[in-house]
Chains A and B, each alone.
Chain A
Amino acid sequence: DTAVSQTPKYLVTQMGNDKSIKCEQNLGHDTMYWYKQDSKKFLKIMFSYNNKELIINETVPNRFSPKSPDKAHLNLHINSLELGDSAVYFCASSLRGSGGLETQYFGPGTRLLVL
């Protein structure tokens, strides 16, 4: 059983399009995250939800909109895709969200390429 799953694994799209990435965790965790990993492998937090409530919203363009329909799911919708959005997007979850004290379980990543 996959603990944190993401779909799709690969996403190739044209500039200006709108796309969504889905994430699901079956660990019963309260907190879920979206990270962006750029070509230099720098992993940067974008959003975090705790019990469906937004708790972290870093300086991310408002073209990115997360949505958590329930504790087990955190989706990411991106409007008007730009070349600079090309990256690997990781979903993660942790039990309560105690940053740095808990294990974060990462999904396999979604490789987004904007042409």
Chain B
Amino acid sequence: TQLLEQSPQFLSIQEGENLTVYCNSSSVFSSLQWYRQEPGEGPVLLVTVVTGGEVKKLKRLTFQFGDARKDSSLHITAAQPGDTGLYLCAGGTGGFKTIFGAGTRLFVKA
């Protein structure tokens, strides 16, 4: 069974701080996606990475796919209250199925 573990489970920081959240597995995934979910809403895709070692940037967010395609990280620079939410990583299995991690709940205090 393919599993994705995310850490930390919960993170509370001050506005302006930097942070990194992690998504790890013992299995190889064909791709890795990051979604953000705000309270009362469905998840929204932030990025998809498909190549081992790939790095993608989205404004203050930097995403990296591990060389062996078993892990990924999300780094946020100078966090803002608007970054508050649940960050979910999701692994592609090569078929129709996507495996989701349990998420990291981020709270950025003003």
* Interface residues, chain A, with chain B CB atoms under 8 Å away: 4, 31, 35, 40-45, 48, 50, 55-56, 90, 92, 97-101, 103-104, 106-109
Q: Quick check: A48 and B96 within 8 Å, CB to CB?
A: yes
Considering the chains assembled together, what is the distance between the CA atoms of A109 and B48 in angstroms?
Answer: 23
A109 CB contacts on chain B under 8 angstroms: 40-42
- With A41-B103, A43-B88 already in contact, the answer to whether A99 and B43 are too (CB < 8 A) is no
* Interface residues, chain B, with chain A CB atoms under 8 Å away: 29-33, 37, 40-45, 48, 50, 86, 88, 90-100, 102-103, 105
Interface residue from B50, B88, B92, B102 paired with A99 (Cβ < 8 Å): B92
- With A41-B103, A106-B42 already in contact, the answer to whether A101 and B50 are too (CB < 8 A) is yes
Interface residue from B32, B94, B97, B100 paired with A43 (Cβ < 8 Å): B100
Give the distance to chain A from B68, nearest Cβ to Cβ, in Å.
16
Considering the chains assembled together, what is the distance between the CA atoms of A48 and B98 in angstroms?
Answer: 11
The residue of chain A having its C-beta at the shortest distance from the C-beta of B41 within the complex is A108
Give the distance to chain B from A56, nearest Cβ to Cβ, in Å.
6
Give the distance to chain B from A115, nearest Cβ to Cβ, in Å.
21
Interface centre among A40, A43, A45 (most CB of B within 10 A): A43
Q: Quick check: B42 and A41 within 8 Å, CB to CB?
A: no
B95 CB contacts on chain A under 8 angstroms: 99
Q: Quick check: A99 and B96 within 8 Å, CB to CB?
A: yes
Q: Quick check: B86 and A41 within 8 Å, CB to CB?
A: yes
Q: Quick check: B30 and A100 within 8 Å, CB to CB?
A: yes
- With A99-B94, A99-B95, A100-B32 already in contact, the answer to whether A106 and B44 are too (CB < 8 A) is yes
Q: Quick check: A42 and B102 within 8 Å, CB to CB?
A: yes
Interface residue from A31, A35, A40, A90 paired with B96 (Cβ < 8 Å): A31
Give the distance to chain B from A28, nearest Cβ to Cβ, in Å.
18
- Supplied contacts A48-B96, A100-B94, 6 more A-B pairs, CB within 8 Å: A31-B96, A41-B86, A45-B97, A100-B90, A101-B30, A106-B43
B86 CB contacts on chain A under 8 angstroms: 41
